[in-house]
A and B are shown apart, each in its own frame.
Chain A
Amino acid sequence: MTRKIDPITFEVVRNALSSIADEMALVVLRSAYSPVVRDAMDYSTAVCDRHGQVVAQGLTLAVQLGSFPDVMEVLLREFRDDMAPGDIFICNDPYGSGGQHLPDLYVIKPLFVDGAVRGYAATMAHHSDVGGIAPGSVAIHATEIYQEGLRLPLLKLYEAGEPDRKLFRIIEKNTRSPVQVLGDLRAQLAACRIAERGFGQLVDRYGVKKLETYLKELHDFAETRMRAEIARIPDGTYRFVDWIDGVGDDPEPLPIAVTVTVEGDAITLDFAGSAGQVPAAINCPMAMVRSAAYCAIRCLATDDVPNCEGYMRPIRMSAPAGTIVNPVEPAACAARGVIGYRVFDAIMGAIAEAVPDLVIAGCEGGPTLFSVGGHHEGKPFVLTEVLVSTWGARAARDGVEGISNPAANLSNQPVELIEAELPLEVTRYGLVPDSGGAGKHRGGLASVREFRFLAERSEFTIRTDRRDHPPYGIAGGGPGAASANTLIDRDGEHDVATMPMKSFIARRGDTFRMVSAGGGGYGDPRGRDPYAVLADVRDEKLTRESARDVYGVVVSEEGKPATPSAVPRRPVRR
């Protein structure tokens, strides 16, 4: 194969670009203030070419793979002729500025070389609070975006190197946690500056023209790669409907419908048939739907595809306006992640029909969002937890438990740090036995996290899902266990809806327990290796009763059968 460019230099350039994006990610991680950035790693970094197209992305969150194209498009459209060295842009508005929801602040710096823009450094971070009706700014019970906090269209945060102090003051005055927000903004700004240095060195080394040839080649290469991957999927039209439980105390299920059409080396995703937008904050702007869909398709690739925009070219998407997957102003969208992650699940469900070996059964459903705040000993406090937990089973493997959702790559917050900094006690954090979907390969176990409130009065909001529509199994595998939220106060235990349209007040000593859904299973449970069942029983991941009733494997009380024949099979009760 002959190419116009030198394949070695190509790899060297590609390597250098990834290295810049990773370095940016590292700077944000190490110097950020808020737990949701520093521990949950809910942020993203990228280097873009002068057309605003992503050429490299830092290794942070999978689902954010496509998080920059929309905002970059707006930036170039509105400011192409109005950029100077030292300018830095900021925005978060999903309507008109390419944002996803208000807590995600984008900070983007044009990279100038010899007076012209040659690229962009872009960062996005989920900030701890941007105002709105509840601490953490992700409350589900907002019905319009106007209730969700500070809206920033694309604006210059720095102009020719000078900070816009008014804008900084406005931001500072519109958050419940100004120290964290400003600290995290500084981390994003530092990452952009780091990128400027690294990108400048690349230009020095190769010259503008040569570098741009290679960047173009990078997009073309990624496209070629992606087309080859798609070509491996049998042509056809595949449909799947997954469900959101719905909002409020008496929820009405909301469908996420996807029709996947594979034709040769191109793929089309159509979300027609999905529910209309709702007066609650779960509507998912198209920027995130696209991002989640790119991530799902990227997961089907068996080879290394560069994380640059070129690979998106063979993927086309459409969603009717006014639906939960393409809402229009003023739909509220702060807690839109639940839809984004379900888009991933729905695409997996559809593709399972075509390439069952490449997909994964239903996972926990994406992060549970738990935000709590109040005043304690005269000082305000806010905690946003982004809880992820488990995977569905695969064609040849059990689901992984104690892991981030495949569309995310989130971390948990250390219990000891939470307790040292906040009036909360974590009373339990671990796996839940018997919660993995049954199967030849079982789904990953659910996890439980339980808080005791130590402040006199704490206000919290919760967004979960997957209670009425637990994670699906594949090829005869059973669904994972349903999720549950329980508030325990002096009057006893109370079920809390998956997406309640309100915040809750907890008193000192009350406890709130969140149990995630378990992963879906894969294949007939009667085909499961009896020794795998036995190991699960011994590890107390499966009870003896479930081993017998679901898998037909009888395990003695000691849990130690001496030979395979000591593991008799019984007919399975279904």
Chain B
Amino acid sequence: MGIRVGVDVGGTFTDVVLLGDDGRLVARKVSSTPEDYSRGIAEGVAAALADSEAAPGDVASVVHATTVATNTILEQKGARTGLITTRGFRDVLEMRRLRIPVMYDLQYEKPAPLVPRRLRREVDERLGPDGTVRRELDAASLDAAVAELRREGVEAAAVSLLHAYANPAHERRVADRLRESFPNGLYVTCSSDILPEIREYERTSTAVVNAYIGPVVQRYMETLLGRLRDLGVGCPVHIMQSSGGVMSVEAAGRKPACMVESGPAAGVMACARLARGAGLDNLISFDMGGTTAKAAMVEGGQAAKTTEFEVGGGINLSSRLIKGGGYPVKLPFVDVSEIGAGGGSICRVDGVGQTSVGPQSAGAVPGPVCYDLGGVDPTLTDALVAIGYLNPGYLVGGSLPLNTAKALAVLEEKVARPLDRPVAEAAHGVLALACATMTRAVKAVTTYRGRDPRDFVLAAFGGNGPVLGVEIARALQIRRVLVPPVPGVFSALGLLYSDVEQEFVQTVMIRAEGAEADTVAAAFDSLEAEAREAMIADGFSAEAVTVERLADLRYAGQAYELTVPVAPGTPDLQDMARAFDREHERTYGHPSEGDPVDLVNVKVLARVAVHAANPDRHLLPPPPATLGAPRDVYFGPADGTLETAVVARTDLTADWNEGPVIVEEYDATCVVPPGCRARLDAFGNIDIAVDTRP
């Protein structure tokens, strides 16, 4: 089937992974090129192809995770976008849900709406909640609104009318009128197409985000395809979605809002595959890089999902509670919580001795003080170098030498002295504090969902994940940590293990008790037909498509739904309601059995497995030629400083190796503290038994 290529673009690095038929794995990290990310991608792919001595024509598929959608919003560089909405509701987008993510801050500013008021226009029309037309769409008001948007020269438009989830007819007429009035083309998104779900603000916001980034994403895709063609790579390209599934480039152009969290999702999908491969049901994915740490939950081999996300909402610590800081997109997301704590996070001690790590980051430039590029604030990386967790001569394979003396000096001056502690103890304190913060990211996806982290194995990856994985596990009383092969480019590898996936949703809003099973069956059937049609339109054969049915339910009166799987065929509404009772109990600790249950949405997930032919085993890149000598490492006040062996992954055996030991690789460092034991499992993972004494 040829070579498969995974490309994960981040702010600092572009990670490329090549996987051959024979399981041979080639990893390459190159600098990202923010002025045109496709250039860095082309360079990375070319370099990786050269490493593997393969021809561009051998590449059978490319799967890509990109930050282009998110960056377009963060940098406010989207299309000039208009919005057409129902008379009386022009300001829904700007009023938002009123709530803000901070309290006691009288200087707060709300994020500016992606469509300013002058570009939001109203039409006379009205639907009822059941989709009945209460007032016909008035042609004159539509003409006026369209003329206004023409005059303003918009490049994209969103259409979001009240209750359009129940009846898309008016929105479609508005969209048609818009398209015919802009002969040079206009990117149009209807709320009923992108999210036919009740709640006007969330639906409008999702449609607006989609329209706002649509033209930019389409241009990006064209450039990328051109670059790859120039390289001789003419195979299909798939894009990672926030849900963990992949989609065609064409689908991505239509629904770019589906890809805003494509990078973080890739890492979690890699973990899901790791869990299935290793025969583990429950896994916490812990991905830590230079600026943030991300956590997610894999349960029963599947990544946990959510539909609540705010783009640009800053740090996404359980977005469910702290709301209003960004631009909501209510589409399927792998439930990833993110904390501003990474290697570059700055440590501060204020005048009264309060200590914090992050969320400010020294970034890649100037970076931590030990990079010697002009950084002046102590960072977590400085602390890790100071206590010996990181090898100053061996970061990114030795290409980035670190200045330990400077790290020690800045920690002494700005942390140890204000806290009146020895420098090693203070540096270890920085680590402990970073771990405490990151623990909340893990809790946000586990305890906040009613799950006990002690029932999970922690998979640690990303550049810094394997350094701190065991400390995080200890803080949460997790007994086992896995560090997968190529941990530094693990997310890119995950791209190659994701299915093609699209989710379709329809609000039905009916009481489960007493509802006609046939009505629900009809809703599922029509959604399923739509889903299959879309997959076939994307070039897949009808036989390759599998579908899964899901339902969003809640007790009558609640505002938030829980999702349960539904068996194929005519649905049994009683079974659905009982499955919901169980899920409610698991999540919130109590069911309200006997209370009426509302079926809010039916959903269909269409899927095509594209990685079925992937090899079972990977042939790993060779270990580094030179390894550091044993070194002194400070493991905290209880253990003190210990001479610690430094080994390559392949030096570990299937028998338990007693800690302390440090595993150094091209793309990451794995620390096994004293009291813990490590071994290499059959899949090449470092398997660590954690000593969970408090």
Contacts and interface: CB of A to CB of B under 8 A. Distances in A.
Interface of A: 1-3, 6-8, 11-12, 15-16, 19, 22-23, 25-27, 29-35, 38-39, 41, 58-59, 62, 179-180, 183, 186-187, 189-190, 193-194, 198, 204-206, 221, 224-225, 228, 295, 298-299, 301, 303-304, 358-360, 388-389, 394, 396-397, 400-404, 406, 409-412, 414-417, 419-420, 427-431, 447, 450, 538-541
A35 B559 contact: yes
A180 B557 contact: yes
A157 B334 CA distance: 40
B150 to A, nearest CB: 15
A33 B98 contact: no
A33 B597 CA distance: 12
Contact of A8 (B128, B202, B433, B440): B433
A301 B107 CA distance: 12
B103 A414 contact: no
B560 A431 contact: no
B116 interface: yes
**Chain B contact residues: helix, strand, loop or mixed:** loop
A450 B320 CA distance: 29
- The interface centre, meaning the residue of B92, B355, B560, B589 with most chain A CB atoms within 10 A of its CB, is B589
A11 B98 contact: no
A11 B418 contact: no
Interface string B301-337: 0000000000000000010111100000000000000
A96 to B, nearest CB: 30
18 contacts: A8-B432, A15-B437, A26-B320, A30-B588, A31-B560, A39-B559, A179-B595, A183-B595, A186-B590, A228-B352, A299-B106, A410-B99, A416-B129, A416-B198, A419-B163, A420-B198, A540-B117, A541-B117
Of listed B353, B355, B418, B432, residue having the most chain A CB within 10 A: B353
A15 B436 contact: yes
B590 A299 contact: no
Contacts of A420: 129, 198, 509
Given A30-B320, A31-B584, A190 B198 contact: no
B452 to A, nearest CB: 9
A410 B98 contact: yes
A484 to B, nearest CB: 17
B658 interface: no
4 A-B pairs with the lowest CB-CB distances in the bound complex, closest first: A430-B91, A402-B95, A38-B559, A428-B88
A447 B88 CA distance: 12
Contacts of B88: 427-430, 450
Contacts of B117: 431, 539-541
Interface centre among A59, A388, A403, A431 (most CB of B within 10 A): A403
B353 A1 contact: yes
B155 to A, nearest CB: 19
Contacts, number: 203
B108 A62 contact: no
A430 B89 contact: yes
Contacts of B323: 411
A409 B100 contact: yes
Contacts of A190: 588-590
Interface in B166-203: 198-202
A360 B267 CA distance: 45
Given A179-B557, A400-B110, A447 B95 contact: yes
B558 interface: yes
B353 A7 contact: yes
B363 to A, nearest CB: 23
Given A41-B99, A429-B92, 13 more contacts: A1-B353, A3-B353, A11-B356, A12-B436, A29-B560, A32-B559, A62-B104, A189-B590, A304-B354, A409-B100, A412-B95, A417-B198, A427-B88
A32 B590 CA distance: 12
A105 to B, nearest CB: 17
Interface in B643-673: none
Contacts of A409: 99-100, 103
Nearest to A402: B95
Contacts of A394: 106-107
Given A402-B91, A417-B199, A22 B98 contact: no
A419 B201 contact: no
A402 B326 CA distance: 15
Interface of B: 88-92, 94-100, 103-110, 116-118, 128-129, 162-163, 165, 198-202, 318, 320-323, 349-350, 352-356, 418-420, 429, 432-433, 436-437, 439-440, 443, 447-448, 509, 555-560, 584, 587-590, 592, 595, 694
Contacts of B110: 400, 402-403
Contacts of A541: 117
A34 B557 CA distance: 6
B116 A539 contact: yes
B598 to A, nearest CB: 10
Contacts of A412: 95, 97-98
Contacts of B592: 183, 186
Contacts of A25: 321
A27 B509 contact: no
B557 A62 contact: no
Given A23-B448, A228-B352, A540-B118, A2 B99 contact: no
A11 B433 contact: yes
Contacts of A401: 94-95
Nearest to A15: B436
A26 B318 contact: yes
Contacts of B199: 414, 416-417
A479 to B, nearest CB: 19
A432 to B, nearest CB: 10
B106 A11 contact: no
A59 B100 CA distance: 11
B104 A298 contact: yes
Contacts of B108: 400
Contacts of A417: 198-199, 559
Given A23-B447, A299-B106, A400-B110, A183 B95 contact: no
A2 B592 CA distance: 52
A403 B98 contact: yes
Given A15-B440, A26-B448, A394-B106, A1 B320 contact: no
A539 B116 CA distance: 7
Contact of B163 (A6, A180, A221, A416): A416
A102 B448 CA distance: 30
B443 A19 contact: yes
Contact of B352 (A29, A225, A299): A225
A555 to B, nearest CB: 13
Contacts of A179: 556-557, 595
Nearest to B101: A59
A123 B609 CA distance: 47
A8 B419 CA distance: 10
Contacts of A206: 694
A406 B557 contact: no
A34 to B, nearest CB: 7
B198 A404 contact: no
A206 to B, nearest CB: 8
A198 B447 contact: yes
A412 B321 CA distance: 15
A92 B118 CA distance: 47
Given A403-B100, A412-B97, A429-B91, A1 B352 contact: yes
A16 B90 CA distance: 42
Contacts of A389: 98
Contacts of B128: 419
Contact of B162 (A187, A189, A415): A415
B558 A416 contact: no
A179 B531 CA distance: 38
Contacts of B436: 11-12, 15-16
A65 B556 CA distance: 31
Contact of B587 (A30, A204, A397): A30
Contacts of B107: 394, 396-397
Contacts of B556: 179
Contacts of B443: 19, 23
